[in-house]
Structure 1
Amino acid sequence: MIEEIRTRIPEYARPSDELYIKVIRIAVEQAVEGFLDRVEDPDAPWDREPFRMIGRGEAAEGRNLEPLQAAMRLGARVGWRRLTELAGPCGLSPQNLYDLGEVIFVHLDQLADAAAEGFAEARAHAAGETERRRTRLLDLVLSSPPASAEAIADLARAAGWRLPRTVACVALDDGLGPCPALAFPSDVLSAMDRPQPCLLAPDPNGPGQARMLDQALRGRRAAIGPAVPLTAAATSLRWAREALDLSRRGVLPDGLVRCADHMATLVVFKDEELVSALAEVRLAPLTHLRPTQQDRLAETLLAWLRHGRGAGEVAARLHVHPQTVRYRLRQLEELYGDQLADPDIRFELEIALRARQAVRA
Structure 2
Amino acid sequence: MASKSDTSDTRISADIVKTLRAGIGRISAEVIGEIQARIPEYARPSDEVYIKVVRMTVEQAIDGFLDHIQDPAAPWDPEPFRMIGKGEAAEGRNLEPLQAAMRLGARVGWRRLTEIADPLGLSPQSLYDLGEAIFIYLDQLADAAAEGFDEARAHAAGEIERRRNRLLDLLLSRPPAGSEAISDLAKAAGWRLPKTVACVALDDQHGTCRSPALPPDVLIGLERTTPCLLVPDPNGPGQARMLETALRGYLGAIGPAVPLPAAASSLRWAAEALELSGRGVLPRGLLRCTDHMATLVVFKDEELVEALAEVRLAPLAHLRPTQQDRLAETLLAWLRYGRGAGEVAARLHVHPQTVRYRLRQLEELYGDQLADPDIRFELEIVLRARRAAALAARPL
Give TM-score, length-normalised by structure 1.
0.98
Cα deviations across residues 90-125 of structure 1 (Å, max 9, x unaligned)?
A: 111111111011101110001000000000000001
Cα 1:357–1:222, aligned 2, differ >3 Å: closer, same or farther? same
Quick check: 2:212–2:247 contact (8 Å CA) kept in 1?
no
Which one of the candidate residues 282, 303, 320 is aligned to 1:290?
Answer: 320
Give TM-score, length-normalised by structure 2.
0.89
Amino acid at match of 1:274: L
Displacement over 4 Å in runs of 4+ = none
**Structure 1 counterpart of 2:10:** none
Quick check: 1:168–1:236 contact (8 Å CA) kept in 2?
yes
| CA RMSD after TM alignment | 1.1
Q: Which moved more, 1:17-26 or 1:268-277?
A: 17-26
Unaligned runs of at least 5 residues, structure 1 = none
Q: Which moved more, 1:286-295 or 1:51-60?
A: 286-295
Which has the higher Rg, Structure 1 or Structure 2?
A: 2
- For 1:1-361, list aligned pairs within 5 A: 1-361=31-391
> What is the CA–CA distance in structure 2 between the aligned matches of 1:182 and 1:104, rounded to whole Å?
46
Unaligned runs of at least 5 residues, structure 2 = 1-30, 392-396
**Shift, 1:203, TM fit:** 0.8
**Shift, 1:192, TM fit:** 0.8
* 3-state SS, counterpart of residue 300 of structure 2: helix
Identity across the alignment (%): 81
Q: Which moved more, 1:214-223 or 1:102-111?
A: 214-223
**Shift, 1:179, TM fit:** 3.5
Quick check: 1:222–1:244 contact (8 Å CA) kept in 2?
yes
Amino acid at match of 1:295: D
Quick check: 1:168–1:204 contact (8 Å CA) kept in 2?
yes
> What is the CA–CA distance in structure 2 between the aligned matches of 1:140 and 1:46, rounded to whole Å?
47
> What is the CA–CA distance in structure 2 between the aligned matches of 1:28 and 1:182, rounded to whole Å?
45
* 3-state SS, counterpart of residue 301 of structure 2: helix
> What is the CA–CA distance in structure 2 between the aligned matches of 1:177 and 1:195, rounded to whole Å?
11
Quick check: 1:176–1:220 contact (8 Å CA) kept in 2?
no
Q: How many residues align?
A: 361
> What is the CA–CA distance in structure 2 between the aligned matches of 1:111 and 1:11, rounded to whole Å?
19
Q: Which moved more, 1:284-293 or 1:64-73?
A: 284-293
> What is the CA–CA distance in structure 1 between the aligned matches of 2:298 and 2:42, rounded to whole Å?
67
> What is the CA–CA distance in structure 2 between the aligned matches of 1:162 and 1:154, rounded to whole Å?
11
> What is the CA–CA distance in structure 2 between the aligned matches of 1:306 and 1:182, rounded to whole Å?
39
* 3-state SS, counterpart of residue 299 of structure 2: helix
